Chain A
Amino acid sequence: MKLLQKIGLIIFIIGITVFTFSPFIGSYKVTNDILKSTLSEQQYANLSEKLKEKLVGKRFSYTWEISSVFVNEYEFKNETFKNKHEWDKVMHDNPQDIALSITKSSATGFYINNILLFFLISFGFGVLGAIMYFLPDVILLGPPGIKNNNIYRRPSTNRGLIAYFVFAYLIGFYILLYFYPAQLTNQILLVNPLSLLLNGHPASRWFLYGVLYCTVMLTMAVRMYIKYRHNKYQIVRTTSVLFFQVAFAFLIPELLIRFNQPSMDFKNAWPLNYSFFFDWNINNLLNSGAIGAFMLFWGIVLTLIIVPVFSYFYGKRWYCSWVCGCGGLAETLGDPYRQHSNKTLKAWKFERWIVHGVLVFAIIMTAAALYTFFTNENTLLGIETYSIQKAYGFLIGSIFAGVIGTGFYPIFGNRVWCRFGCPLAAYMGIIQRFKSRFRITTNGGQCISCGNCSTYCEQGIDVRWYAQRGENIIRASCVGCGVCSAVCPRGVLKLENGPEENRIIENPIIIGNDGIKLNL
């Protein structure tokens, strides 16, 4: 069994190494045709002269040789135009995106000709190895039950060297993905055949991200199924997030593209889906006939009716732990790191400021975007509405949700984004705290203050604080993952939905002591 795990680990490492180092095994040849087909007419007119001289006809081994030339030239030209006040010539696209299109089309040689083989080695080996590593746990972990053994003794799960390595790797990946996508050309090419099959177009970086996301979640879900095989709540919940990720976040949007419809993740509610009310999106939907109109309608109903009503009946867990993609990754890939959330009172204070701050930011940004949509005015109180959107997209959408949100898993826990950053979580949290049927009931006087619940609460809630006083846990940030209840060795905690009456106990009495009837 141990041997099988070791072989699995080796296979996994081969897979991920090939994936990671694929940028070093490509070759690229830029042609004039490629420039013509990837650049707009204006861009071609502005840039082709220099690009032909520096890029066309040459062979390159690395994508950055091409992207750096291109981006430099692009920025240099724009700078020149601006200095000369030739505003009509200034280009407004993201040069990194165009560089990616160029590098994708210029790939030649062994790598691209054997792309299926490389796909199998990277993705195939990665998944196969990981599953070979997890499966023996059915036996190695012993009889079903909570097996958090040695979590704080392993460098991978106790902020050791391996954890820092994963931390750096994830952050690096997100930075490349968001800001330097051309450097991921070869990884994107890996999923090109799949993209063509699904949506009929060559793979974009977001397609790669989607495939990776689903693959990682599926693989890590196998681990969850084994680890929590005694706990039906965990099994059902994991299946649910997995389903919503693969079907709603990935397959349906891709198929919509195939049928030339606007693509939409039907479960992604505003304000998490922060661009939903941007004028380009609304216009796009309004120009897409009945289906577009339906999508617009659905998006509004989702945020204004479904989200609050479901949160009233089930707490925000219906979304955060059952449906959401961010939550889904946190609960699968992030599960080994859940104990790293900060439990101090300080962190809780910080959380309330920042998460509600992001919500306010999202509301202001969206209000400004709607103002632009309805009035066609681009400035509001002297501020350009696009610049608010850009700032939000960069700071919150990319840095907070992506780089920090996932990159920080191994060191700061798996729900950094969900706890401190997600505006939808803040919105549902307010409902959960003040008007909901959800609570975690504490079982009388049974708590022994051991601290397992608090340690494994990914949202940094000091569950024990409440449990040892016999008080129900009603916290805005609780995502209802159910792990506190699972790890409690004394059966003290139960997530349940019930009448609002008596949900919040202001002055709890721990039962069992008949001498004490009033807790003053």
Chain B
Amino acid sequence: MEHIVIIGNGISGITAARHIRKKSDLNITVISSETKYFFSRTALMYVYMGHMKFEHTQPYEPWFWEKNKINLIQDYVEKIDFTNKSLTLKNGSPISYDKLILAVGSKPNKFGWPGQDLKGVQGLYSYQDLLELEENTKNGIKRAVIVGGGLIGIELAEMLLTRNYPVTFLIREESFWGNVLPKEDSELIMRHMKEHDVDLKTATELKEIISDSNGRVKSIITNKDEEIACELVGLTAGVTPNIDFLKGSDIELDKGILVNEFLETNQKDVYAIGDCAQFKQHPKKERKPIEQVWYTGRMMGETVANTICGKRLAYNPGHWFNSAKFFDIEYQTYGWVFNTPIENEEHFYWEDSSRKIALRIAYDKDTRLFHGINLYGLRMRHHAFDKWLTEKRTVEYVLEHLKDANFDPEFYKSYEPEILNEFNLKNNTYVKPKSKSWKRILSFNS
């Protein structure tokens, strides 16, 4: 029987393994160096914050792997011999494969800052990073500096603040996550960060990290020559594919492992999925060649499983969606909303009086075609927007049926009237909200 080897037990590798098992009896081996069992990387923060224990981040009980005959090996793959189809492991004996899936994920970016390898300077990606953070803060710290204003940076800030460690947050752009979020959206989040006592420094870059006499960080210096004393520096300026061990081999690499739309690399029977894969040309033109989110890793895993099981399938993700949580404010997005309107596009932005709940809709000025929505402190149905985007609905249609999409818990205040009111005022329209219809909601799923 064919032996399928998967390197990496993150969401993409494990999804591939599970789906191959669902569809076939092939031999499956998953090799990963970080932990024995699959865990949810996205939940690392909650372990440090004391919301969960590490074992709670593991979505499957240990018996699951045995029952489904998914062979797990905790080891590091040092080299791959693509001609003889065999892997060299750091500890175990070599393993040969018939088909190989590379799902090796990412590692934190380091941009060659002076002092970036000092003690007390770290990224936040792996289980080992979590342990290191515990170690680095075990005696308490007086201040931490976080470099890089994206999703992982704000999570790290929240983590440290639950232990009452003051946080200074350096953001290179003018505003938080400014390459993705429009101005008002970003400002809403920054207001909330300040409410949580984050010391925000926008348009500020890290120049140098200064060491004390023990090789431990003592302070940092910004590009404005300000020195900030700190005992911890979090480097969270994005991630990059974790492919150093492949360099010099026959596999074609750029920033990541190059793949076609079938997730096939230039080596026969070798595939790459998840954070480490880079499309030569993304099947969806508006998307970036490397997608480093949970959901796309999962979808690539589902896709490659079909191919392995004999049904060659191209990666064809549906409408874009994503979500995050910025301290207490939940964020969801469906479709595309860019930080500035694209050509012939209009943005409608609404914020409630608390200034913590907001919504932004992007649509075409002339055709009124709905492009996408950003939501803050509001939950909405994924199915609704997926359907509306497919059906190419107008912004007016979406607003009219907004109650169908509402996914907030019961008894929550309903904001639709306020939202529509403001839209009508701005646009001189008379859109009225339709009341919620279960019939329509059920039709989203079909």
Contact = CB atoms under 8 A, between A and B. Distances in A.
A152 B50 contact: yes
Interface string B15-39: 0000000110000000000000000
Contacts of A511: 318, 382-383, 386
Nearest to A511: B386
A231 B438 contact: no
Interface string A6-37: 00000000000000000000000000000000
B46 A486 contact: no
Given A445-B295, A455-B51, A512-B299, A520 B23 contact: yes
Nearest to B42: A448
Interface stretch (B53-61, B69-77, B94-102, B345-353): B53-61
A233 B325 CA distance: 20
B292 to A, nearest CB: 13
Interface string A137-151: 000001111101111
Contacts of B299: 512-513, 515-516
B302 interface: yes
A450 B42 contact: yes
B317 A495 contact: no
A452 B46 contact: yes
Contacts of B23: 520
Contacts of A193: none
A149 B50 contact: yes
Nearest to A450: B43
B325 A443 contact: no
B142 interface: no
B422 to A, nearest CB: 23
B411 interface: yes
Interface in A446-462: 446, 448-452, 454-455
Contacts of B58: 451
Interface residues of A, number: 57
A496 interface: yes
Contacts, number: 172
B29 to A, nearest CB: 22
Contacts of A452: 43, 46, 51-52
A468 interface: yes
A514 interface: yes
B410 A498 contact: no
B321 A512 contact: yes
B40 to A, nearest CB: 4
Interface size class of B (residues with CB under 8 A): 35 or more
Nearest to A497: B410
Interface in A47-92: none
B316 A515 contact: yes
B91 interface: no
A491 B381 CA distance: 9
A499 interface: yes
A44 interface: no
Given A143-B196, A452-B43, A496-B410, A515 B51 contact: no
Interface stretch (B205-213, B252-260, B326-334, B364-372): B326-334
B11 interface: yes
Contacts of B316: 513-515
Interface in A463-520: 464-465, 468, 482, 485-487, 489-491, 494-496, 498-499, 501-502, 505, 510-516, 520
Given A513-B303, A515-B314, A152 B53 contact: yes
Contacts of B315: 515
A435 interface: no
B162 A490 contact: no
Interface in A421-451: 441, 443-446, 448-451
Interface in B404-446: 407-413, 438, 441-442, 445
A114 interface: no
Contacts of A201: none
Given A146-B328, A450-B57, 8 more contacts: A143-B192, A145-B327, A150-B163, A448-B40, A450-B42, A451-B46, A454-B56, A495-B410
